[in-house]
Amino acid sequence: MKLSLNWLSDYVAHGADKELLAHKLTMAGMEIESVENVGGDTVFELEITPNRADCLSTIGLAREVSAVFDKVLKEPKISVPKIPTRKVPISIADSGDCSLYLGTLIEGVTVGAAPEFMESRLKAVGIRPISNLVDITNFCLMEYGQPLHVFDFDKLEGGRIEVRRARKGEKILTLDGVERELDPSVLVIADAVRPVAIAGIMGGKNTEVGPQTKNVLLESAHFDPILIRRAARKLGLSSDSSYRFERGIDPAGVARTSDRALQLILESAGGKLSGQGKAGSTAIKKSKAVTVTPEQVGSAIGMDVSPARIKKIFKKLNFTVEESARGMKVCPPSARRDIKDPVDLVEEVARVIGYDNIPEAMPVIGENSIPSSAPRTLRNRMRELMLAQGFDEMVSFSLINRDDLERARLNAKDVAAIINPLSLDQEVLQPSTLPSLLNIVRTNINRGQRDLSLFELSKVYDGHGKEKEVLSVVMCGHTRRDWRELKKRPADVYDVKGAVAQTLERCGLTELRYALVDANIYQGNSGVTVAVSGRSLGSFGSIHPDILQNFGIKNTAVYYAEVEIPYKDFVKSSRRRFSSLSQFPGVTRDVSLAVPQDVPYQDIADMIHREGGDLLRQVSFSEEYLGDKIPAGQRGLVFSLLYQSADRTLTEDEVNAVHQTLLGKITEFFSATIR
DSSP collapsed to 3 states, 294-360: HHHHHHHHCCCCCHHHHHHHHHHCCCEEEEECCEEEEECCCCCCCCCCHHHHHHHHHHHHCHHHCCC
Pair (155, 227) in one structural domain: yes
For residues 42 and 144, what is the distance between their CA atoms, to the nearest angstrom? 20
Q: What is the dihedral of CA 143, 149, 150, 152, to 10 degrees?
A: 160
Count the Cβ atoms, other than its own, within 10 Å of residue 532: 19
288 to each of 35, 131, 248, 312, 327, how far by Cα in Å? 37, 42, 17, 20, 16
For residues 294 and 451, what is the distance between their CA atoms, to the nearest angstrom? 62
Q: Which of 128, 133, 127 is nearest to 112 (CA)?
A: 133
Assign 107 to helix, strand or coil. Answer: strand
Q: Are 180 and 234 in contact (CB under 8 A)?
A: no
Q: Are 206 and 194 in contact (CB under 8 A)?
A: yes
For residues 481 and 497, what is the distance between their CA atoms, to the nearest angstrom? 12
**Is there a domain that residue 580 lies in?**
no
Pair (130, 231) in one structural domain: yes
Q: How far is CA 406 from the centre of its chain?
A: 27
For residues 411 and 430, what is the distance between their CA atoms, to the nearest angstrom? 11
The whole-number mean pLDDT for each consecutive block of 10 residues of the chain, a chain of 675 residues, reads 94 92 91 90 92 93 95 94 93 95 96 94 94 96 96 96 95 94 96 96 95 96 95 94 93 95 96 95 88 93 93 95 91 92 94 89 64 79 93 93 91 85 86 94 93 94 87 91 68 90 86 85 86 88 94 94 82 59 90 88 86 87 80 88 91 92 91 87
Pair (403, 324) in one structural domain: no
Tally the domains of the chain. 5
For residues 21 and 23, what is the distance between their CA atoms, to the nearest angstrom? 5
Pair (38, 102) in one structural domain: no
Q: Report the amino acid identity of residue 311.
A: K
Pair (133, 164) in one structural domain: yes
Among 306, 330, 357, the domain boundary falls at: 357
Whole-structure pTM over 0.85, yes or no? no
For residues 555 and 476, what is the distance between their CA atoms, to the nearest angstrom? 11
Q: What integer pLDDT is reported at residue 241 of this predicted model? A: 95
For residues 163 and 175, what is the distance between their CA atoms, to the nearest angstrom? 19
Q: Which of 76, 148, 59 is nearest to 106 (CA)?
A: 148
Assign 238 to helix, strand or coil. Answer: coil
Among 573, 607, 637, the domain boundary falls at: 573
Pair (448, 478) in one structural domain: yes
Count the Cβ atoms, other than its own, within 10 Å of residue 581: 7
Pair (121, 222) in one structural domain: yes
Q: Are 456 and 394 in contact (CB under 8 A)?
A: yes
Count the Cβ atoms, other than its own, within 10 Å of residue 376: 11
Q: Are 456 and 433 in contact (CB under 8 A)?
A: yes
Can you give the residue range of the structural domain that contains 94?
A: 90-280
**CATH number of the domain within which 618 lies:** 3.30.70.380
Helical (H) or strand (E) element with 378: helix 374-388
Assign 478 to helix, strand or coil. Answer: strand
Q: Are 500 and 540 in contact (CB under 8 A)?
A: yes
Q: Report the amino acid identity of residue 221.
A: A
Q: Are 585 and 649 in contact (CB under 8 A)?
A: yes
**CATH number of the domain within which 224 lies:** 3.50.40.10
Q: What integer pLDDT is reported at residue 574 of this predicted model? A: 52
Terminal C-alpha separation, the chain: 88
For residues 504 and 493, what is the distance between their CA atoms, to the nearest angstrom? 17
Pair (180, 213) in one structural domain: yes
For residues 653 and 665, what is the distance between their CA atoms, to the nearest angstrom? 19
Q: Report the amino acid identity of residue 572.
A: K
For residues 664 and 434, what is the distance between their CA atoms, to the nearest angstrom? 43
**Is there a domain that residue 124 lies in?**
yes
**Is there a domain that residue 362 lies in?**
no
Pair (416, 560) in one structural domain: yes
∠109-113-119 over CA atoms, to 5°? 125
For residues 355 and 363, what is the distance between their CA atoms, to the nearest angstrom? 17
Q: Are 38 and 75 in contact (CB under 8 A)?
A: no
Q: Are 250 and 334 in contact (CB under 8 A)?
A: yes
Q: Are 354 and 68 in contact (CB under 8 A)?
A: yes
**Is there a domain that residue 369 lies in?**
no
Beta strands 290-292; 171-173: pairing state: unpaired
Q: Which of 141, 71, 146, 74 is nearest to 335 (CA)?
A: 146
Q: Are 133 and 266 in contact (CB under 8 A)?
A: no
Q: Helices (H) and strands (E) in the chain — how many of each?
A: 19, 32
**Is there a domain that residue 365 lies in?**
no
**CATH number of the domain within which 521 lies:** 3.30.930.10
For residues 480 and 482, what is the distance between their CA atoms, to the nearest angstrom? 5
**Quick one: angle between helices 132-144 and 116-124, nearest 10?**
60
Pair (97, 185) in one structural domain: yes
Pair (305, 274) in one structural domain: no
Pair (257, 315) in one structural domain: no
Among 540, 573, 606, the domain boundary falls at: 573
**Is there a domain that residue 503 lies in?**
yes
**Is there a domain that residue 84 lies in?**
no
Q: Which residues are CB-neighbours of 265 under 8 A, at least 6 positions away?
A: 106, 109, 132, 133, 136, 216, 218, 271
**CATH number of the domain within which 58 lies:** 3.30.56.10
**Is there a domain that residue 425 lies in?**
yes
